[in-house]
């Protein structure tokens, strides 16, 4: 079975600082995608970044980057130069084989001005 674990229910970061959100996963498939979704208080689920398992290079989208450690089954999200608008619930998600998207329980990020 596919599982996603986010061990940090809540985190906080000072504005302009860097924060890393953790995610570990488990799958028996060799081909899979990993995602980070952001859900602000407005509740819209927004795709932040995605990583294809076959790619060794870590994905980057502006201030957002991932540290993908395939052997360790770890997929952490780094947010640089944190902004007030980054405050949200962040969900790590796994898509593998023919199974539906599996979400972690989420990490609530607060940004302190």
Partner 1 sequence: DTEVTQTPKHLVMGMTNKKSLKCEQHMGHRAMYWYKQKAKKPPELMFVYSYEKLSINESVPSRFSPECPNSSLLNLHLHALQPEDSALYLCASSQVSGGLETQYFGPGTRLLVL
Cα–Cα distance measured from residue 16 to residue 19, given in angstroms and rounded to the nearest whole number: 10
Measured from the CB of residue 56, what is the shortest distance to partner 1 in angstroms? 17
What x-and-dash track marks residues 35-54 binding partner 1 by CB under 8 A?
x-x----xxxxxx--x-x--
Measured from the CB of residue 18, what is the shortest distance to partner 1 in angstroms? 25
**95 lies in the site for partner 1, by CB under 8 A:** yes
Cα–Cα distance measured from residue 25 to residue 2, given in angstroms and rounded to the nearest whole number: 7
Q: How many helices (H) and strands (E) does the chain have?
A: 0, 12
The residue range among 19-27, 57-65, 68-76, 88-96 that interacts with partner 1, by the rule CB under 8 A, is 88-96
Q: 89 is written with which tokens?
A: 């619930």
**Residue 34: which of 96, 79, 88 has the closest Cα?**
96
Site residues, partner 1 (CB under 8 A)? 31-33, 35, 37, 42-47, 50, 52, 89, 91, 95-96, 98, 100-101, 103-106, 108
């Amino acid at each position: 079975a596919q599982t996603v674990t986010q061990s940090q229910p809540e985190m906080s970061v000072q504005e302009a600082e860097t924060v890393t959100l953790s995610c570990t996963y488990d799958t028996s498939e060799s081909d899979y995608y990993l995602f980070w979704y952001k859900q602000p208080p407005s509740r819209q689920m927004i795709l932040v970044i995605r990583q294809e398992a076959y790619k060794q290079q870590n994905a980057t989208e502006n201030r957002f980057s991932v540290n993908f450690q395939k052997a360790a089954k770890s997929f952490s999200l780094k947010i640089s130069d944190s902004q007030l608008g980054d405050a949200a619930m962040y969900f790590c998600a796994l898509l593998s084989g023919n199974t539906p998207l599996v979400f972690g329980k989420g990490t609530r990020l607060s940004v302190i001005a």
